[in-house]
Structure 1
Amino acid sequence: MALTELTSAPSLGALYPKAVLTGFRHRGGDLPDTEYLLPGVPVDVAHLAAYDRVCGFRLTDDLPATYPHVLTFPLQIKLMTAADFPFPLAGSVHVANRITQTRPLTLADRLDLRVRAENLRDHPRGRQFDVVSTATVSGQTVWTDTSTYLRRTGGGERDRSERAEPPAPRALWRVPADTGRRYAEVSGDRNPIHLHPLTARLFGFPRAIAHGMWTKARCLAALEGRLPGAYTVDVRFKLPVLLPATVAFHAQDGEFSLHDARTGKPHLAGTIS
C-alpha cells in the first residue's frame, strides 16, 4: 500500500467539479494501491456542535461514533475521484456502513486519519467495494469506518422476498425538506440528490433524499446514553428517505430500523454489538 501523507484536508470545492467532469465514465481495473494519511486533526468545537444539532445529538465533549466519518469524507472523495479509481463517483451507491469505536472519542483527541479502498468483489447487480477509514490516537486505532459502495453494471435480480410487517414504532420523526441541505453544510457531502428537488430529478429521484449517514446518525442519537463506550454499529441502507418525510424508528435487543411511517417501506436496518 502506497501511503501519501497530506498536510491539510482536501478541498471538496475543487473535488466535486472534478467528479462532474469525469461524468459517468467507467474506467475499469483494480482498486488503487493508495492510502491517504492526514495526521494530527483537531476537532473544531463549533463544527461538532453544528453536527450534533443537525443529527439530534446532545451537545457534549464526546464525539458521536458517526462524527469522524465527516472528518474523513474529504479524503474519501479525493481517493474516489483520482484518475486511477476504477469507478466514477457519480452513480456509486452507498449501500452499507459499519463503524467500530474501541473507546469514547472526545474533543481532546487529535486524530490521525487514514483512508483506503479494498475488497473489490462481484455483486448480482454489478460490483462492490469498501472504502475503509480509520482514526488513531497516539498510534492506537480507536475508530474504524467501512463504507460499502455498489456500482451497478447490469440489471441483476432484485430481492423479491416478501417484506415483513414493520415493527411497532418507538418514535415518529418528521424530517424537514431542508434536511439534506443542513447535513450537507456540516458534512461537506453536497451531492445534488440531497439538496433540491430539481437537482434530485436530474438523477431520477422525484424529490431530494436524505443522506444515508444522516439517517444512521439520527438513529444513534435516539439511543444516546444507552450505548457502551466501545461498540460496533452496522447498517444497511435500503430505500431512500424522500424529503420531506415522516419516518418510524424502532429499536430492541441490539437491533434498530427506520421505515416510512405511512407505507412501512424500509429505509435502514442496523445492529449494535
Structure 2
Amino acid sequence: MTPLQPVILGDMPSLSKLYVNAAAQAARRRLLGTHDSSVLPLESHEVRGVTVDVANLTAYQHLLGETASDVLPAGFIHALAFPLAISVMNRDDFPLPLLGMLHLRNSVEQRAPLLFTDALDITARVENLRGHRAGTQVDVVAEVRVAGTQDVCWRGISTYLAKGVFLPGVDKPSSAPVRRDFKAPDPTGVWQLGVDAGRAYAAVSGDFNPIHLSVLSAKALGMRRSIAHGMYLASRALADVGSVRGDSFTWDVDFDAPVFLPCRVALEISSDQGGSGTWKRSDFVAWNPRSGRCHFSGSVAAL
C-alpha cells in the first residue's frame, strides 16, 4: 500500500508523550469498547532535516560496543526513526493497541552509509495487517534519506503482534508455523545483563516503554519481570559481528522468547567467507544458558 499523502511533522515526536497518550487511549477503549476497524491509516508520518546529537551517538556506541566512527550504526538509525514509527501506531485510526505489542521480527537494509553530520529525512508508515495464531500482526516501515534527496539509504521493517486482539475481517492462519527444534551450540560469547539493562538502553534510544524499565511497570502490563529491548539485543549482536559487515548490508532478526532481566545470555556467531575469502554473511543465535531456550536469531549479509 502506498500512502496517499505524508503528514509532515515539525519535529521528531516525544516518545514519553506518545506512551502517555497510548495509555490514555487504552483507557478510552476499555470504557467505550474495543476498536473494531480493520483498516490501517493511509498517511505516512515524516520529519525532515533531523540531526544527530553527537553525545547521544557516543553514549550509544559505548553501551552497544560499537566502534567509534562517523558512520551511524544501523541500530542507532532504528532508534532515531523509532519515535516516528510509534507516532503512526499512536494515531486514533490505528486499529491495534500500542501498549503491550510484541516485537516479532526486524528486517533492515543498510543501502548506503549515513554520517553523523548528515541531516536526515525520515518517514514511517504501517502496512500488511494480517492474522496471527495469537492475535493480529502489522508491519511498521521506516525509511531514512539524506535530507533533500530521494534515495533511501536505510530501510527497516518491524513486525509487531497485538496478542489476543482479533479484528473482524482479518483471517487467522489455518495452522501454526512449525517451530524448529533448537539445540544450543557452543557459545562464542556470554552477556551478563543487569536489572538496569532496559533503563540503560532507554537512556540512549529514548524508548522508555514501561515493560523494559522495572518489575512494577512491567507487571502493570502483564509481564512477570522487566524485559530487555529486542533492538538492544539485536543491535548488540550486530556490534559483535563487527566492522567486517562494511557499509552496505542486510540485517534480519527473529525474536523467539523475551529476555527477562537480570539474566545471562549466551551467543554464537558464525561467519561465511566467499570463494575469494571475502566476508559474505554472519549468522547469530542467542539463548538462555540455563534453560537452553532460544531468545533470538538472525543474520547479517553483504548487499
Residue 53 (1) aligns with residue 81 (2): no
Q: Is the 8 A contact 1:66 1:99 kept in 2?
A: no
CA distance in 2, matches of 1:161, 1:70: 30
Following TM superposition, by how much is the alpha carbon of 1:39 offset from its aligned partner in structure 2, in angstroms?
A: 0.9
Q: Secondary structure of the equivalent of 1:235?
A: strand
**Which whole-Å deviations, capped at 9, do the CAs of 1:177-228 have from their partners, x for residues lacking one?**
1010011111121111100112112223222110000000110111112212
Aligned counterpart in structure 2 of residue 95 of structure 1, from 77, 101, 104:
104
Aligned counterpart in structure 1 of residue 26 of structure 2, from 20, 23, 36:
23
1:6 alignment partner in structure 2: 9
Q: Is the 8 A contact 2:182 2:294 kept in 1?
A: no
More displaced 10-residue stretch of structure 1: 102-111 or 41-50? 102-111
What's the TM-score, normalizing by structure 2? 0.85
Q: Is the 8 A contact 1:4 1:36 kept in 2?
A: yes
Q: Is the 8 A contact 1:101 1:232 kept in 2?
A: yes
1:213 alignment partner in structure 2: 231
Which residues of structure 1 form unaligned runs of 5+?
A: none
Go from structure 1 to structure 2 and tell me whether the alpha carbon gap of 1:228 and 1:162 turns closer, same or farther (over 3 Å shift): closer
2:202 alignment partner in structure 1: 184
Q: Is the 8 A contact 2:19 2:99 kept in 1?
A: no
CA distance in 1, matches of 2:94, 2:112: 33
Q: Secondary structure of the equivalent of 1:226?
A: helix
Following TM superposition, by how much is the alpha carbon of 1:265 offset from its aligned partner in structure 2, in angstroms?
A: 0.8
1:126 alignment partner in structure 2: 135
2:49 alignment partner in structure 1: 40
1:259 alignment partner in structure 2: 287
Following TM superposition, by how much is the alpha carbon of 1:124 offset from its aligned partner in structure 2, in angstroms?
A: 2.0
What's the TM-score, normalizing by structure 1? 0.94
Q: Secondary structure of the equivalent of 1:71?
A: helix
1:268 alignment partner in structure 2: 296
Residue 142 (1) aligns with residue 153 (2): yes
Following TM superposition, by how much is the alpha carbon of 1:161 offset from its aligned partner in structure 2, in angstroms?
A: 4.3
Q: Is the 8 A contact 1:134 1:141 kept in 2?
A: yes
Following TM superposition, by how much is the alpha carbon of 1:139 offset from its aligned partner in structure 2, in angstroms?
A: 2.0
2:278 alignment partner in structure 1: none
CA distance in 1, matches of 2:180, 2:44: 41
Q: Which runs of 4+ in 1 moved over 4 A?
A: 154-162
Go from structure 1 to structure 2 and tell me whether the alpha carbon gap of 1:12 and 1:161 turns closer, same or farther (over 3 Å shift): closer
CA distance in 1, matches of 2:122, 2:179: 40
Identity %: 39
Q: Which amino acid in 2 is paired with 1:69?
A: H
Q: Is the 8 A contact 2:144 2:155 kept in 1?
A: yes
Q: Which amino acid in 1 is paired with 2:131?
A: D
Following TM superposition, by how much is the alpha carbon of 1:160 offset from its aligned partner in structure 2, in angstroms?
A: 7.1
Q: Is the 8 A contact 1:45 1:107 kept in 2?
A: yes
Residue 167 (1) aligns with residue 181 (2): no
CA distance in 2, matches of 1:13, 1:90: 12
Following TM superposition, by how much is the alpha carbon of 1:128 offset from its aligned partner in structure 2, in angstroms?
A: 1.3
Residue 226 (1) aligns with residue 207 (2): no
Q: Is the 8 A contact 2:16 2:208 kept in 1?
A: no
Two-structure CA RMSD over aligned residues (Å): 1.8
Q: Is the 8 A contact 1:101 1:230 kept in 2?
A: yes
Q: Which amino acid in 1 is paired with 2:253?
A: V
2:276 alignment partner in structure 1: none
Following TM superposition, by how much is the alpha carbon of 1:76 offset from its aligned partner in structure 2, in angstroms?
A: 1.4
Q: Is the 8 A contact 2:193 2:265 kept in 1?
A: yes
CA distance in 1, matches of 2:199, 2:57: 17
1:82 alignment partner in structure 2: 91
Which residues of structure 2 form unaligned runs of 5+?
A: 167-171, 273-281
Q: Secondary structure of the equivalent of 1:186?
A: helix
